Amino acid sequence: MSANPRPLRLPPMPKVADLLRVYGLSAKKQLSQNFILDLNITDKIAKVADVFDCHVCEVGAGPGSLTRSLLHAGAKHVAAVEIDRRFLPSLEYGFRRMRSTELAVTHLTDVIRREGENGNLTGCVFIDLSKAFDTISHSGLLSKLSTYGVRGTELAWFTDYLFCRSQVVQYKGVLSEPQPILTGVPQGSILGPILFIIFFNDVHKPLQHSKIITYADDSVIYTSSKDIDTIQRSLSEDMNNLCEWFKDNELIINLKKDKTESMLFGTAKRINLQDKELKLSVNGTLINNTSTYKYLGVHLDSSLNLASHFDRIYKKAATRINLLRSIRPLIDQKCAESIYNTMIAPIFTYCGTLGLSFPDYRKEMIKNIERRGFKVIGNSSFNPPSVNNLIKRKSCLFVFDCLLNNVCTPFKNYFERLVHSKATRNNGISVKLPKMLESASRGRLSIHHADIMKFYIPDALPKADTVHWNSDVPGVRMVGNLPFNVSIPLLLQWLEAIPQRAGPFTFGRTPMALVFQKEVAENIQAPPGDRECTRLSIMTQYLCEVNKKYLIPSKIFVPEPKVDAMLLRFVPRVTPLIEAPFVVVEQVVKAIFSERRKTIRNSLRTLFHTKPELSEELFARTGVDSTLRPNQVNFKDYGKICHSFIEISREHDMPITPLRMRKPVAVATKKNNTDVDARTSYQITQ
């Protein structure tokens, strides 16, 4: 073991439970995840996991208090993989809860500023598509829906919804013949935007060097480096890959000026020193390079001083006040106030967090516009909050939501609170400017915004060493506060990876410390003969030693669930208690527990679908008591049943088909981990 890593000064966690109680607020659930924000509990989880000097894969809703505890406990490296069973990428801001154009702009500008502070330039390509909503391929959309699990009757509904549409044209009172609509999603409908982002969601896959932020069809790819040549090479390669994706999906990129354009960002000093500009082309067409671009309503300039943006919104607000003056004699007081509140003040408050950096003279110009508006309205009693105060209030609410983690993924753990050990009145009320937990960890934390159900874990821990299976456990740990709705599928996926020595068990017998719903945890650790013994108990215990560690009361979680939770520790066995292939054990255990209240004589008949009479031959060969209940069968009997099942299947030429039609990513190889088909039957070998 190496020496204890240097202590880190990590951003402290806010005591959200106290905030909720004091202010009477309620945090909203996200992805069925209940967050543990009590550092005492997460410290206990880290202690049970024994992470000192180990590479750790943390599975949960994203980096938080558990991440901090793992780092403080001396983990060599933590790879935090965010659980998100939804297939929409975390950087898609369109038509989704807790996301907006303002957050998309804030995210992009913060990335550019952060890179600028580190001395880097950021190259961006703002992409515009021609009639994106109208050119969506119906067959392509249905194919993607099928890939994401929409099948059978539900897929037939979407087929009728898309294909059974027609349109007519009326000219001088004459209607044309109805013509079928072969492309596009119905605009103005609730499903239209959702179907579009489902179709568009894998746009990030062709990118090798850049990242992407999307709001519906408005996309921007960006990459950062100190060298403009490196930026140009990366963007050129990714743009070519992206254009191939657009072509495959029958989308058309609009390369006209003011539509798709490239832009270089950095500090004013770095930009002025550049003697080159980005020169990118697509299919022989040069992408226009610009010094300003209107992105989601905000005019961005190369150094992000937002001078051009302020000039435009100031002029727009002044124009509208003049228009209000011209119609003021024709409308009443209430109508004039409504026009001001809905059509003038929002011009400045949109993306108001960007306006916090405006110099004082510009803030004074905003006050002058307000006074002009009040004068036009002409009522001394009309005294709404000032625009500058509205911007400050909006920014404070955003910070508060970030502290609650009641924001979308890119903004979780975005701020750190200033706390100290003294019991002073102002302790904990100050917040530093954003300091990412990842950067504060000095290279000991990497964050992966990915779906853990499809994520190949060894990719996150490239420096971890592999040990022989029969030796001691490796220096790798799996730790997670699992969302209750995906905990069992995840566990089954990892269990299947154990016999294959794949996924997290590529390194050896990797221990796991996982939080489950209390009832599920009790079922997992219930031994054969116990009334609580279930199919999950057998599948887990034949491969792992399972130990109960802590009961975690529901009040610890935010938001508070209706049930308690339990921490379990799993260590894979050197030799499984049932010496048989995983697909065979899974098939046998499923059959035995298919009729839980009956004897196994009845339930094992389902093991031989075409020849149920073979179950009697199985009992004759094994000598297992056929009057046992499913929870009374021990591991020795399971071994006899599995071996006899294999022999009988071989003799009668009966294939053994895996229960799950698609092989989990955990047991797939790195090369084909995204699309592994396991529909072929298990081959019985001599």
If you average pLDDT over residues 123-132, what whole number do you get? 91
- What does the alpha-carbon distance between residue 281 and residue 266 come to, in Å, rounded to a whole number? 22
Q: State yes or no: pLDDT of 171 exceeds 60.
A: yes
Residues 91 and 106 placed together within one structural domain of the fold: no
Residue 657 in any domain: the answer is: no
Question: Greater confidence, 635 or 613?
Answer: 635
Question: Greater confidence, 391 or 684?
Answer: 391
Model confidence band, residue 339 (pLDDT cutoffs 50, 70, 90): very high
Residues β-bridged to residue 126? 220, 261
Nearest alpha carbon to residue 128 among 258, 253, 296: 253
Would you say 568 and 525 are in contact if contact means Cβ atoms under 8 Å apart?
yes
> Is residue 481 marked as binding?
yes
- What does the alpha-carbon distance between residue 390 and residue 544 come to, in Å, rounded to a whole number? 57
| CATH number for position 448 | 3.40.50.150
> Is residue 82 marked as binding?
yes
Q: What is the per-residue pLDDT across 484-500, written as a single tens digit (0 to 9) for each?
A: 777 888 899 999 999 99
Number of alpha carbons in the 13 Å side-chain half-sphere of residue 123 = 25
pLDDT of residue 661: 39
Amino acid, single-letter form, for residue 525: Q
Model confidence band, residue 327 (pLDDT cutoffs 50, 70, 90): very high
pLDDT of residue 11: 45
If you average pLDDT over residues 177-197, what whole number do you get? 86
* Total number of domains in the chain: 4
pLDDT of residue 362: 87
- What does the alpha-carbon distance between residue 585 and residue 591 come to, in Å, rounded to a whole number? 10
Model confidence band, residue 94 (pLDDT cutoffs 50, 70, 90): low
Residues 558 and 464 placed together within one structural domain of the fold: yes
Residue 78 in any domain: the answer is: yes
- What does the alpha-carbon distance between residue 98 and residue 406 come to, in Å, rounded to a whole number? 8
Residues β-bridged to residue 84? none
Site of tokens 């894969």: 57
- What does the alpha-carbon distance between residue 481 and residue 200 come to, in Å, rounded to a whole number? 31
Q: What is the per-residue pLDDT across 19-28, written as a single tens digit (0 to 9) for each?
A: 333 333 333 3
Q: State yes or no: pLDDT of 683 exceeds 60.
A: no
Residues 590 and 560 placed together within one structural domain of the fold: no
Residue 511 in any domain: the answer is: yes
Model confidence band, residue 261 (pLDDT cutoffs 50, 70, 90): very high
Percent of the chain whose predicted confidence (pLDDT) is above 70: 82
| CATH number for position 127 | 3.30.70
Percent of the chain whose predicted confidence (pLDDT) is above 90: 30
> Is residue 60 marked as binding?
yes
Model confidence band, residue 399 (pLDDT cutoffs 50, 70, 90): confident
pLDDT of residue 293: 92
Residue 671 in any domain: the answer is: no
Residue 438 in any domain: the answer is: no
Backbone angles phi, psi at 108, to 5 degrees: -65, -45
If you average pLDDT over residues 454-479, what whole number do you get? 90
The two structure tokens encoding residue 244: 């191939």
Residue 117 in any domain: the answer is: yes
Of the residues 301, 316, 335, which one is the last residue of a structural domain? 301
If you average pLDDT over residues 344-348, what whole number do you get? 91
pLDDT of residue 466: 93
Nearest alpha carbon to residue 35 among 554, 567, 570, 568: 554
Q: State yes or no: pLDDT of 609 exceeds 80.
A: no
Amino acid, single-letter form, for residue 469: W
Residue 643 in any domain: the answer is: yes
Would you say 621 and 643 are in contact if contact means Cβ atoms under 8 Å apart?
no
Residues 449 and 557 placed together within one structural domain of the fold: yes
Of the residues 245, 268, 301, which one is the last residue of a structural domain? 301
Model confidence band, residue 428 (pLDDT cutoffs 50, 70, 90): low
Q: State yes or no: pLDDT of 672 exceeds 60.
A: no
Residues 463 and 333 placed together within one structural domain of the fold: no
Residues 212 and 345 placed together within one structural domain of the fold: no
> Is residue 480 marked as binding?
no
Question: Greater confidence, 462 or 433?
Answer: 462
- Helix H or strand E segment including 665: none
Alpha helices in 125-179 (DSSP H): 138-147, 152-163
* Secondary structure of residue 98 in the 3-state scheme: coil
- What does the alpha-carbon distance between residue 597 and residue 458 come to, in Å, rounded to a whole number? 42
Cis ω on the peptide bond leading into residue 658 (within 30° of 0)? Answer: no
If you average pLDDT over residues 21-43, what whole number do you get? 52
Q: What is the per-residue pLDDT across 556-571, written as a single tens digit (0 to 9) for each?
A: 776 677 888 999 999 9
Whole domain around residue 260: which residue ranges? 101-137+183-301
Question: Greater confidence, 5 or 204?
Answer: 204
Residues 273 and 226 placed together within one structural domain of the fold: yes
Model confidence band, residue 148 (pLDDT cutoffs 50, 70, 90): confident
Of the residues 256, 281, 301, which one is the last residue of a structural domain? 301
Pick from 29-43, 48-62, 387-401, 576-590: least confident: 29-43
Residue 261 in any domain: the answer is: yes
Residues 464 and 516 placed together within one structural domain of the fold: yes
Q: State yes or no: pLDDT of 390 exceeds 50.
A: yes
pLDDT of residue 88: 46
If you average pLDDT over residues 161-187, what whole number do you get? 87
Q: How far apart are the first and last CA of the chain?
A: 45
If you average pLDDT over residues 325-342, what whole number do you get? 91
pLDDT of residue 435: 47
Residues 91 and 105 placed together within one structural domain of the fold: no
Q: Using only the alpha carbons of the chain, give its radius of gyration.
A: 30
The pLDDT mean for the chain works out to: 81
Q: What is the per-residue pLDDT across 222-239, written as a single tens digit (0 to 9) for each?
A: 999 988 999 999 999 999
CB atoms within 10 A of CB 189: 11
| CATH number for position 642 | 1.10.8.100
Residues 507 and 605 placed together within one structural domain of the fold: no
Site of tokens 């960890």: 441
Give the DSSP letter string of 12-57.
Answer: PPP-HHHHHHHHT--PPPBTTB-EE--HHHHHHHHHHHT-TT-EEE
Residues β-bridged to residue 282? 285
Give the Å distances, CA to CA, from 41 to 58, 557, 561.
15, 10, 16
Residues 230 and 323 placed together within one structural domain of the fold: no
Pairing relationship of beta strands 285-289 and 261-265 according to DSSP bridges: parallel
- Residue partners of 245: CB distance under 8 A and separation at least 6: 203, 205, 206
Residues 288 and 368 placed together within one structural domain of the fold: no
